């Protein structure tokens, strides 16, 4: 890749900011796009951007990927064919049950705009965020890219699976190299306020009860942000190649075109109740817990089979849960001036 121009959508987001920062440190030119939506605290997003602004190779556009004309103007201003990391999306499993249309606007319509810009402006590799939620009703663990993913249990998961299918079509029709990354429960400093680590931490600091669904028995493959960033960049530098395989035994993770799907997880799931115990140790304060049944759209367990990622990049996750949670709680105390 050498020193390349890389478009990162969702650059004010949790993963987007961290990926952009690492690539800027490596000397790349970053074109960041984000609509600064009010889904959660805009001030947190602006604070993330403030970390990136001092870099001379960073430029930012306040724009929405669902706005085709705006996106086209941005891409047309870039002098060389850019790599693209699409992290812009409407997140949240539970939110998708109550607000379905915004998921179609951003995650589906917005993604076709990304694909078209990549096609028209000769993108050498599109990497985009999928999700472990696409595994849905699959009960075979650990989750492998070679497993079928035809039974999503939330609209959010369905839109992410739609992204994978749309990307495959463009890889087939236009030979556009695409890689979908199935992220597994990302956590760490600057995380989203709607995610479990953030909400649990906030409740403990404020002495409020944590609402723990599925009686705390759900298992999650928590993956630290630094591991996500390193793996994402390694994959970006390794575009997929066309693969030969039998047309009678089609592989859902790859294709005859330059297309691939890759898990990025920790491959070490823990229960939510165990997760809270580690968090209590980090904060030095006990949690107040209220137990509830499972919610619609939630998976019982996630667990990533990282074999394909390791074969492609030799990457192995490095950060254990206790260290990762410590890093988050230190950031939380500092950012929110929480002395307790």
Q: Which residues are catalytically annotated?
A: 156
Task: Give the DSSP letter string of 149-189.
Answer: ----SSHHHHHHHHHHHHHHHHHHHH---EEEEEE--EEST
Structure tokens given for 55 = 């870099």
Counted residue by residue, the chain has a size of 340
Rounded distance, CA 106 to CA 94, Å? 16
Question: Nearest CA to 261 among 223, 310, 309, 316?
Answer: 309
Rounded distance, CA 157 to CA 162, Å? 9
Q: Helical H runs in the chain?
A: 14-25, 42-52, 68-76, 93-98, 100-103, 110-120, 155-174, 196-206, 225-236, 272-283, 307-313, 321-335
Structure tokens given for 166 = 């749309």
What Rg, from alpha-carbon coordinates, does the chain have?
19
Contact yes or no for 119/81 (Cβ under 8 A): no
């Amino acid at each position: 890749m050498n020193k390349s121009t890389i478009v990162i959508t969702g650059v004010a987001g949790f993963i987007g900011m961290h990926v952009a920062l690492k690539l800027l440190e490596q000397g790349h030119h970053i074109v960041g796009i984000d609509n600064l939506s009010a889904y959660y605290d805009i001030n947190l997003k602006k604070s993330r951007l403030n970390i990136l602004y001092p870099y001379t190779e960073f430029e930012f556009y306040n724009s929405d990927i669902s706005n085709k004309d705006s996106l086209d103007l941005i891409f047309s201003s870039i002098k060389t064919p850019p790599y693209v990391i699409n992290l812009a999306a409407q997140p949240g499993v539970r939110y998708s049950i109550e607000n379905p249309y915004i998921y179609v606007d951003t995650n589906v319509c917005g993604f076709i705009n990304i694909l078209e810009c990549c096609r028209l402006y000769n993108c050498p590799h599109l990497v985009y965020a999928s999700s472990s939620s696409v595994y849905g009703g699959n009960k075979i663990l650990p989750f492998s890219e070679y497993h079928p993913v035809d039974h999503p249990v939330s609209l959010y998961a369905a839109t992410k699976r739609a992204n994978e299918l749309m990307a495959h079509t463009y890889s087939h029709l236009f030979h556009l190299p695409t890689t979908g990354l199935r992220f597994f429960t990302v956590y760490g400093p600057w995380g989203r306020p709607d995610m479990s680590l953030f909400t649990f931490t906030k409740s403990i600091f404020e002495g409020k009860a944590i609402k723990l669904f599925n009686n705390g028995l759900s298992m999650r493959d928590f993956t630290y942000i630094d591991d996500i960033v390193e793996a994402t960049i390694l994959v970006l530098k390794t575009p997929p190649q066309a693969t030969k395989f039998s047309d009678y035994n089609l592989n859902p993770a790859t294709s005859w075109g330059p297309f691939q799907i890759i898990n990025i997880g920790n491959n070490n799931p823990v229960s939510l109740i165990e997760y809270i115990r580690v968090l209590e140790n980090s904060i030095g304060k006990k949690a107040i817990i209220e137990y509830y049944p499972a919610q619609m759209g939630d998976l019982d367990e996630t667990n990533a089979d990282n074999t394909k990622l390791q074969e492609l990049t030799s990457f192995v996750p490095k950060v254990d849960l206790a260290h990762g949670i410590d890093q988050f709680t230190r950031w939380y105390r500092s950012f929110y001036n929480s002395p307790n």
